[in-house]
Amino acid sequence: MGKRILHALSFNRLSPAQKIASSFLFVILCGAVSLTLPICNSDGKFFPFIDALFTATSATCVTGLVTAYTADQFNILGQIVIIVMIQIGGLGLMTLMAIVISKVRNRITMHDKIVMKEMLNQDSVFNMRTFLYDILKYTALFEGIGMVFLAFRMIPEYGIAQGLFNSMFLSISAFCNAGFDNIGRVSLGNYIGDPLVNIVIMSLIILGGVGFAVWFDIRDKIRPFLKRKITFKRMVRSLGLHTKLVLIVTAILIFGGTLLIFITEYNNPQSMAHMSLGDKVWASLFQSVTLRTAGFATMDLSGYHLSSKFMMVIWMFIGGSPGGTAGGIKTTTIAIFLIFIFRNLRGRDTTTLMKRSIDHHIVVRAMTIITINGITLITGIYLLTICMPHIHLIDLVFEAASAMATVGLTLGITMSLNTAAKLIIILLMFTGRIGITTFLVSFTKHGGHKAGKSIVYPSGHIIVG
C-alpha cells in the first residue's frame, strides 16, 4: 500500500501544469522556512511565518510586495536567500532542473520538453536544450552588464563589497522583474533623476519583460544586418510576427503610460509639482516602465491622482510579454483581443494582423485568459474588501492587481494587511506567476487533457447583446 501511495505521488507522474505549480510551491516553502530562521534576520529573532511566507512568495513569484523592508529585516544571508528565490522564480525551477538534467543525461525527455513548453509559454516543442542554454547564457550576460554599470553608482556610496552586492541584487531583481531592493525604505527614490540608475534598471526591466523568444529572434535577424548583408528595413521586415507585435505593444504602453502620468501628475502638489522638468520626465518614464510588472518605484505613488492610479491598474493587468520574467495577461493577449473586437465590429469573420491570419484557437485562448484573470482579480478584490473594510477601494484594487500581475507596486497598505488579507495576496501572487490557467489545470487529474473524442450536441440558439 505504501509503495502504491508513493508511486501515485511520484513527481514524474504529475502533469506539466502540476509540475510547474508544485515546483514553485516547493521553492516558496523552502524559502519561507529559511527566512523564518534567526540566522537570516538582522535582529537575530524568528521572523513570523506568515510574513516569511509572504516574502518568499513575493520573491519566488517575482512580485516585490513586502511586509517588512528587506534592508532592515534581513541580513546578508537572508538577502542571499531572497535573491536566489528571485532568480529561480524568474527562470523557473523546472527550467533550471532541465538544464542540469540535460547536462547529466546529455538529453531532455519529451515529457520534460512539454513541461518546458508550458513553462516558457512556447507554442511547440523544438530544440529545447539549445533554447534553455541560450536563456541561461543571456540572462547571465544581461544581469552581469547591469551589475557592472550599477556598481559605478553603488560602490562610491556603499564601499566595494556592499556596493557590488547591492549592484548584483538590484540587477537580478530588475531583470527578473521582481522589484525587491536592499538599499532602504524608499525603493529607488534616491535616484529619481539619476540617468545611470534609471537607464540601467529600465533596460533590465524591458529585456526581462519582452520574453526570451523575442531576444533570439532579434539576435538572429540582426546578424545579417551587422554584416551588411541586408538593410535595416529588410531586417525589421524579417522579424517574426510575435516579435513585431510585442515590440509595438510594449512601446505603446511605455510611452503612452509616460505621457499620461506626465500630464496628469505635472502640477500635482502631492507628487511631481515640486520637481524639475527633467525629474518629471524621468519619474514619468520610470513609473511607466516599472508597470511592465517590475515593482520598483522612484517616488511615492500614494499621492498620485485617482486617474493615474486607475490607469496604472490597467497597465499592470496587461503586464509584460509571454516567455519572459514579467506577469500580467501579457501584451500579445490584449492585442489579439482588441484586434478581434475591432474586426468583429467591422463585420469580419477572421482575425488578421500584418497580412497574417490568426488561428481561431489563439483568439479563444486570449479571450479565456482575459476572462479568467478578470474574474480572479475581481474575486480577490472582493475578498480584500471583506478583510480590510477600512482601506480605500482604489488602494485594495491597486494592491490586488499588483499582486496578481506580479508587479509589486503598492500605495502603502501592504504592511498594514492582516493575516487573512496577506493570505489572499499570497494566493494572487502565486496564481499570477504560474498562470491562472496552469493553476486551475493543476487540480485536474490528467492536467486538462482527456482522452477520447468530444461529444457533439445539436446546436442551440441563444440571443446575446
- Residue 202's domain comprises 16-438
The pTM assigned to this predicted structure is 0.88
Say how far apart CA 53 and CA 69 lie, in whole Å. 15
Residues in the chain: 465
Q: Residues near 10 by Cβ (< 8 Å), separated by ≥ 6?
A: none
Within-domain flag for 8: no
CA neighbor of 200 nearest in space, from 222, 163, 172, 159:
172
In terms of phi and psi (left: phi > 0; alpha: psi -120 to 50; beta: otherwise), the region of 181 is beta
Flag whether 374 is in a domain: yes
Domain assignment present for 445: no
Give the C-alpha separation, 318 to 327, whole Å.
8
Provide the residue type at 256 as one letter.
G
Where b means 16+ CB within 10 Å and e means fewer, 82-118 reads bbbbbbbbbbbbbbbbbbeebeeeeebeeebbbbbbb
Q: Is residue 3 part of a domain?
A: no
Burial of 224 (0-12, 13-18, 19+ CB in 10 A): middle
Are the beta carbons of 96 and 85 closer than 8 angstroms? no
Beta strands in 351-405, from DSSP E residues, in sequence order = 351-353, 356-358
How many domains does the chain divide into? 1
Query: Which parts of the chain sit beneath pLDDT 50?
Result: 1-2, 4-9, 104, 118-119, 447-452
Half-sphere exposure of 231 (CA within 13 A, CB side): 3
Q: Quote the pLDDT of residue 455.
A: 72
pLDDT of residue 158: 94
Q: ∠ at Cα 294 (82, 115), nearest 5°?
A: 70
Straight-line distance from the first to the last Cα atom of the chain, in angstroms, rounded to the nearest whole number: 56
117: in domain: yes
Is 446 among the domain residues?
no
- How far, in Å, CA of 283 to CA of 191, rounded? 10
The answer to whether 67 and 417 are in contact (CB under 8 A) is yes
Could you tell me what percentage of the chain is helix, strand and coil, using 3-state DSSP and rounding each to the nearest 5? Answer: 65, 0, 30
Radius of gyration for the alpha carbons in the chain, expressed in angstroms and rounded: 22
